[in-house]
Amino acid sequence: MYKIRILKSPLSLLLILSALSLLSPAWGDDISDPYIAMGITRPDHVLPAHNFSLSTLDGKQASLNDYRGKVVLLNFWATWCAPCRKEMPSIQTLWDRYKARDLVVLAVSEDDGEREKITRFISKIKVNFPIMLDHDFKIADSYMLPGLPTTYLIGRDGTIAATVVGTQDWSRHEAQALIQYLLNRRH
């Protein structure tokens, strides 16, 4: 009969953990888990994203359900939010790279009714992804925003794949690996 020895030394534990990491599934681009690489966690439960309909900056109506079957980066922001302003160019970079592959960016402005101010800001920073207007904060309330910026990544199936609170550099390698992962999932 064989006896199992429990290894107690830190070096032994490190060797075991290193070996296990080699067995973990690879998502591509040398990132073993794109969620961990971004510093975010997967949701504990599958939650459907709340559908909503809002006016866009150009005066049209759009609904979240219009984009079912696509990966949606739903970003809540405001012109007065310095971290939001910092994040916007990297969202544009991500949008430029993946919009032809079924990534949709919806930026929901939490500014209170100043359409001209938002238009000037968007023009100044040169972003061209869809901007939606949540003047009465109903959508922000329904998503229970912890602060700005907050981004929800919504999978093709309409469920929330990740919640990101705070500024991210969406142009970095890890963010692109996460988007690739979500785009490659068919459900």
Q: What pTM value is reported for the model?
A: 0.82
- Residue 30's pLDDT is what? 46
* Residue 83 forms part of a structural domain: yes
Is residue 61 a contact partner of residue 180, using CB atoms and an 8 Å limit?
Answer: no
Residue 129 tokens read as 């992804």
Q: Crossing angle, helix 82-98 and helix 173-184, to 10 degrees? A: 50
* Residue 113 forms part of a structural domain: yes
**Each residue's pLDDT tens digit, 119-132:** 999 999 999 999 99
Number of independent structural domains in the chain: 1
Instruction: Tell which residue, 112, 136, 175, has the closest CA to residue 52.
Output: 136
> Which residues are registered as beta bridge partners of 154?
72, 160
Mean pLDDT within 56-83: 96
Is the confidence at residue 23, as pLDDT, over 50?
Answer: no
* Residue 167 forms part of a structural domain: yes
Is the confidence at residue 7, as pLDDT, over 50?
Answer: no
* Residue 19 forms part of a structural domain: no
CATH, residue 173: 3.40.30.10
* Residue 149 forms part of a structural domain: yes
Largest CA distance in the chain: 79
State what percent of residues in the chain have pLDDT above 70. 83
* Residue 63 forms part of a structural domain: yes
Element (H, E) at 16: helix 10-23
Mean pLDDT within 62-70: 97
**Alpha carbon distances (Å) from 105 to 15, 18, 42, 76:** 42, 37, 20, 11
Burial 92-111 (b: 16+ CB within 10 A, else e): bbbbeebeeeebbbbbbbbb
Is residue 28 a contact partner of residue 177, using CB atoms and an 8 Å limit?
Answer: yes
- Domain residues for the domain of 140 are 50-184
* Residue 151 forms part of a structural domain: yes
* Residue 35 forms part of a structural domain: no
Cis peptide before 10 (omega within 30 of 0): no
**Each residue's pLDDT tens digit, 128-158:** 999 999 999 999 999 999 999 999 999 999 9
- Residue 187's pLDDT is what? 64
